[in-house]
Amino acid sequence: MFAQLVASGLVQGSIYAVIALGMTVLFRSTGVVHFGYGAFFMAGAFAVYVFSQVVGMAFVLAFLAAVAVLVLVGMAFERVLVRPIVHGPHVTVAMMTVAMSYLLTGVARFFWGQEVLRMPPIVDVPPIFVGSIVLTAQDLLIIAGCMALVVAFFLFFARTKLGKLMQAASQVPRGAALVGINVPGFHMAMWGVVAGIAAVAGTLVAPVTMLYPDMGAHLLIKAFAAMTFGGFGNLGGAVLGGLLIGLAEQLAGFYISTALIDIFAYLVIIVVLIVLPNGILGKKEATRV
Amino acid sequence: METNDFFFRVEDVHVHYGKAAALSGVSLGVRRSEVVTLLGANGSGKTTLLNTVSGFLPLTAGDVRIEGRSIRGQAPHAVVRAGVVQVSQYRDLFPQLSVRDNLVLGAAVRGDDSDEALEGVYAKFPRLKERHAQKAITLSGGEQQMLAIGRALMTRPEIILLDEPSAGLAPMFVDEIARIMRELKDEGRTMLLVEQNMRLAMNIADRFYILRDGVVREEGHCDHLRANFDALAREHYL
Amino acid sequence: MKRMTAILAAALVAVANPAFAEPGVGEDTIRIGIFAPLTGSASIFGRAAFGAEAVYNEVNEKGGIHGRKIEVVREDDGCDAARAISAVRKLTAQDDVFLIHGGVCSGTVMAVRDDLERQNVPFVILGAASAGIVKPFKKNLFQPIPNSDVVATQMVDFAMSKPGTAKIALISHTDEWGETNSRVATEHLKKAYGLDISLKLALERSTTDATPQILQLRNAQPDFVLAMLYPAETALLVRDAHKFGMTTPILGNFGVSLEDTRDRVGDMAAMANFYTFYAYEPALSSAEIEPWTKMITKYFPDHRADTFSYEAMGGALAVIEALKQAGPDLTRDKFIAAMESIKDFQSGILNTPITFSADDHAGVNGGAMIAYRDGKPTVLKTWSE
Ligand SMILES: Nc1ncnc2c1ncn2[C@@H]1O[C@H](COP(=O)(O)OP(=O)(O)OP(=O)(O)O)[C@@H](O)[C@H]1O
Ligand SMILES: [Mg+2]
Residue range A143-153: average pLDDT?
Answer: 91
Q: Which of the following CATH numbers is that of domain C150-279+369-380: 1.10.10.60, 2.30.30.90, 3.40.50.300, 3.40.50.2300?
A: 3.40.50.2300
Domain boundaries, chain B: 32-57+72-237
Of the pLDDT bands very low, low, confident and very high (cuts 50, 70, 90), residue C14 is very low
Q: Which atom of ligand 1 is nearest to the CA of B48?
A: 18
What CA–CA distance (Å, rounded) separates B57 from A51? Answer: 45
Domain boundaries, chain C: 2-147+284-366, 150-279+369-380
**In Å, how far is A173's CA from the nearest CA of chain C?**
39
pLDDT-derived band of residue B169, with 50, 70 and 90 as boundaries? confident
Closest chain C residue by Cα to residue A135: C243
Question: For ligand 1, atom 1, which residue shows the shortest CA distance?
Answer: B17
Of A12, A109, A115, the CB nearest to C44: A115
Contact flag C206-A218 (C-beta cutoff 8 Å): yes
- Check whether domain C2-147+284-366 has CATH 3.40.50.2300, yes or no: yes
Right CATH number for B32-57+72-237 from 3.50.50.60, 3.90.640.10, 3.40.50.300, 3.40.47.10? 3.40.50.300
Q: What is the mean pLDDT of residues C121-144?
A: 94
Condensed to tens digits (0 to 9), the pLDDT of residues B223-237 reads 888 888 888 888 877
**Ramachandran assignment for B92, one of left (phi > 0), alpha (psi -120 to 50 degrees), beta (any other):** left
Binned at pLDDT 50, 70 and 90, residue A289 comes out as very low
Chain A residues 62-101 with CB within 8 Å of chain C: none
Q: What is the mean pLDDT of residues A54-77?
A: 95
DSSP state of C198: S
Domain ranges of chain A: 10-214
Report the DSSP pairing between strands A128-130 and A133-135.
antiparallel
Count CB-CB contacts under 10 A for residue A54: 11
pLDDT of residue A114 exceeding 80: no
Under DSSP, the state recorded for B205 is: -
Average pLDDT estimate for A38-49: 94
pLDDT above 70 (res C239): yes
Helix-strand-coil split of chain C, %, nearest 5: 45, 20, 35
Strand partners, B192: B36, B161
Confidence of residue A264 (pLDDT cuts 50, 70, 90): confident
pLDDT of residue C1: 52
Do chains C and B have 3 or more beta-carbon pairs under 8 angstroms? no
Tens digit of each residue's pLDDT (9 = 90 or more) over A189-201: 999 999 999 999 9
Task: Walk across the sheet containing C141-146 and list its strands.
Answer: C69-76, C29-36, C99-102, C123-125, C141-146, C362-364
From atom 28 of ligand 1, which residue's Cα is the shortest distance away? B43
Closest CB to B76: pick one of A167, A172, A177.
Answer: A177
pTM: 0.81
Residues C259-307 have pLDDT tens digits of 889 988 888 999 999 999 999 999 988 999 999 999 999 999 999 888 8
Top pLDDT among C248 and B1 is at: C248
| Ligand lying nearest the CA atom of residue B88 | 2
> Counting every residue, how long is chain B?
238
Q: Which amino acid is at C306?
A: D
C33 - beta bridge partners?
C73, C100
Which ipTM did the prediction report?
0.88
Which of B110-124, C91-105, C254-268 has the highest mean predicted lDDT (pLDDT)? C91-105
Which one, of C59, C75, C73, C64, lies nearest residue C29 by Cα?
A: C64
Q: How far apart are CA C228 and CA C230, in angstroms?
A: 7
Q: Is A256 on the interface with C (CB under 8 A)?
A: no
The mean predicted confidence, pLDDT, of chain C is: 91
Q: Give the number of other Cβ atoms within 10 Å of residue C246's Cβ.
A: 18
Write the pLDDT tens digit of every residue in A159-175.
888 888 887 888 888 99
